[in-house]
Structure 1
Amino acid sequence: MITDPRHAGRRTNAIRQGSRTADVVFHALALLVCLATLYPFYFVVIMSISSPMEAAAMNVFWYPKGFYLGSYELIVGDAKMWRAYGNTIVYVACGTALNCLMAVLGAYPLTVRSLAGRKWVVRYLLVPMYFGGGLIPAYLLVNKLGLYDTMGAIIIPGAVGIWNIILVRTYFATIPESLKESAFVDGASHWQLLFKIMIPVSKPIMAVIAIYTIVGIWNGWFDALVYLPNEKLHPLQMYLYRVVVQQTVDLKTLSMEDARDAAANMLSNIQLKYSIIVFTTLPVLFTYPFFQKYFVKGALLGSLKE
């Protein structure tokens, strides 16, 4: 059967362009997913600036009722919160730098084709990526290394990420061999090739590693709960955990006047929890746009198989 080429071209274009109805459905689904993702944070924001009475009664759903910034004033004036903020910044800065460095140093040798046993090393790395010793061996190791109740207990155990090494190795494999050979012809060593050529052209994957590490360390609190009994070393999320989960008041042991004051404080504390959540989340939200330029490209290229 002979078909008109013009009609075939029209059918091809129709398939490529898709159905308008399908486009509307997919856009509507994407919009619903966005709303379902953004609404919880929006709810926390409007709860944090609403009247404490309305927030405690859970009468706030779509827009703030009343206007109250007293919770933010309490947060700004809390010295313990700022100390936890400073600790978290130290953990994030040191942990991110160390994690990126270890990922690069671990990935580069695995791209050298002349390395003996290279494939066996890659297979070996897959084992600890999926299987771990558990909490008790990790606690004993941290204790034996003298890291218990020190900042190193948060920074050092997570310095080497197997998944990050595999991502960087896969990205390094996409760099043309001719570029590496040209560097060796010009007399470059492996260290010069790594730090002067490989890393500068690998900004996308480094951005991926950085943002993953920043978010992971910023949101981490369990390691501090296990390894840091000293509250002066606690990160911001551990401070948030103590405020949101552990804070309680027993009204039955108080006098009437004290009970009224405690009840008022409880109303303020309910809203304070939402304010702290907003205050601790904003830095991570503001960090992502700086990495967005390289993030998508690095995530796609780093996930491709060699």
Structure 2
Amino acid sequence: MKKQNKNKIKEGNRTVTAVLYILAAIAAFITLYPMYYVLILSLSEPAYAATMRVYLVPKGFNLSAFQVLVTDMKMWRAYANTVLYVVPTTILMIATSTVVAFGLNYKKLMGRKFLTMFLLIPMYFAGGTIPSFLLIVKLGLYDSPFSQVIPACFSIWNIILVKAYFRSIPESLTEAARIDGASLLQVLLKVFVPLGKPIFAVLAVYTIVGVWNSWFSAMLYLPHTEWQPLQMYLRRILVESKQTLTQVMDAATAKELAMRQLSNAQLKYAMIIFTTLPVLCTYPFFQKYFVKGMVLGSLKE
């Protein structure tokens, strides 16, 4: 008689497995369908897109909204501005978080605990919009693209994540490097930075998504459209292009305005797809390190 191995992992119950698959499918549908819904609206005829009576497939396949976006130079300028803000902000965010977290983990640093507590205070108690606006004006950053980069390249929460991750790195590596004659800067660059790729991926994803979707700071500090990012352009399409037909007396003008509003309805959905795709495409490049860095950075403290 064959002896059963008690340590063998048994397969799960088929009923439970089926229920889990169903729940996972429902969660995936709830997550993905809104984006798919916006996509089919952007590909439908303007009349159907305005009524939003499209549910499974596009009605009256139409690419006019995407053609308008591709030929709109203002949109491409806003696109370039957003990339201009995302890239340096992400690099500076990783650099500042790494340097500060490494310093706070250095046991011989005088006042290390006080500095940590000092950094935690503004994370919970911020000055508010008006003091921030006055500070930007006093620094000469108002109506400047630097107003979108410099205030956004430092995050106390990200410093805490990197600090927690660095504490998970064995001290024996630091001691071995110091014995070999490495300075603190060399320890940082040749030990912690190569091992910190997972947490850097987490910071990169958070920063890219945050800066890409940001529009409020641009509305406060960038009064002219020359340096405004893509989200401000989208906001103008969604909010500022509204005009009621009751204000128009001429019938021909009212008809033309009605057709324009139908096209704007389709243009809104096309713009949402156009602005969301780059962020969705960046995640696979960081997926290799993202989960590992997020778990270690949040639990190891």
TM-score normalized with structure 1 length:
0.93
- Residue type of the alignment partner of 1:283: P
The 1:148–1:27 alpha-carbon spacing in structure 2 relative to 1, beyond 3 Å, is same
Q: Work out whether 1:94 is the aligned partner of 2:66.
A: no
The 1:133–1:64 alpha-carbon spacing in structure 2 relative to 1, beyond 3 Å, is same
The 1:297–1:248 alpha-carbon spacing in structure 2 relative to 1, beyond 3 Å, is same
How do 1:37-56 and structure 2 match up within 5 A? 37-56=31-50
- Aligned counterpart in structure 2 of residue 269 of structure 1, from 264, 271, 274: 264
What is the CA–CA distance in structure 2 between the aligned matches of 1:91 and 1:198, rounded to whole Å?
27
Alpha-carbon distance, 1:38 to partner = 0.7
State whether residues 167 and 300 of structure 2, in contact with CA within 8 Å, keep that contact through their aligned partners in structure 1: no
Alpha-carbon distance, 1:215 to partner = 0.2
Alpha-carbon distance, 1:292 to partner = 0.5
Q: Quote the residue 1:302 is aligned against.
A: 297
What is the CA–CA distance in structure 1 between the aligned matches of 2:115 and 2:29, rounded to whole Å?
44
What is the CA–CA distance in structure 2 between the aligned matches of 1:24 and 1:77, rounded to whole Å?
49
Aligned residue-pair number:
298
Q: Work out whether 1:67 is the aligned partner of 2:61.
A: yes
How do 1:58-137 and structure 2 match up within 5 A? 58-137=52-131
The 1:75–1:254 alpha-carbon spacing in structure 2 relative to 1, beyond 3 Å, is farther
Q: Quote the residue 1:255 is aligned against.
A: 250
What is the CA–CA distance in structure 2 between the aligned matches of 1:13 and 1:274, rounded to whole Å?
49
Alpha-carbon distance, 1:13 to partner = 5.4
What is the CA–CA distance in structure 1 between the aligned matches of 2:266 and 2:44, rounded to whole Å?
8
Partner of 1:180, secondary structure, is helix
How do 1:1-306 and structure 2 match up within 5 A? 9=6, 17-251=11-245, 252-306=247-301
Deviates more, 1:69-78 or 1:114-123: 114-123
Alpha-carbon distance, 1:119 to partner = 2.3
Q: Deviations over 1:226-261 (max 9, x none)?
A: 111011110000110110111112433252222222
Give % identity.
Answer: 51
The 1:40–1:113 alpha-carbon spacing in structure 2 relative to 1, beyond 3 Å, is same
Q: Deviations over 1:89-134 (max 9, x none)?
A: 0000111011111101110011112222222322222221122111
- Residue type of the alignment partner of 2:280: L
The 1:182–1:8 alpha-carbon spacing in structure 2 relative to 1, beyond 3 Å, is closer
Q: Deviations over 1:7-56 (max 9, x none)?
A: 9949x956xx5543333223222221111111110000000001111112
What is the CA–CA distance in structure 1 between the aligned matches of 2:9 and 2:294, rounded to whole Å?
31
Partner of 1:91, secondary structure, is helix
* Structure 1 residues not aligned, in runs of 5+: 1-5
- Residue type of the alignment partner of 1:189: S
What is the CA–CA distance in structure 2 between the aligned matches of 1:254 and 1:180, rounded to whole Å?
77
State whether residues 44 and 60 of structure 2, in contact with CA within 8 Å, keep that contact through their aligned partners in structure 1: yes
What is the CA–CA distance in structure 2 between the aligned matches of 1:73 and 1:8, rounded to whole Å?
64
What is the CA–CA distance in structure 2 between the aligned matches of 1:99 and 1:149, rounded to whole Å?
22
Alpha-carbon distance, 1:159 to partner = 1.4
Q: CA RMSD in A?
A: 1.7
The 1:149–1:174 alpha-carbon spacing in structure 2 relative to 1, beyond 3 Å, is same
Alpha-carbon distance, 1:197 to partner = 2.0
TM-score normalized with structure 2 length:
0.94
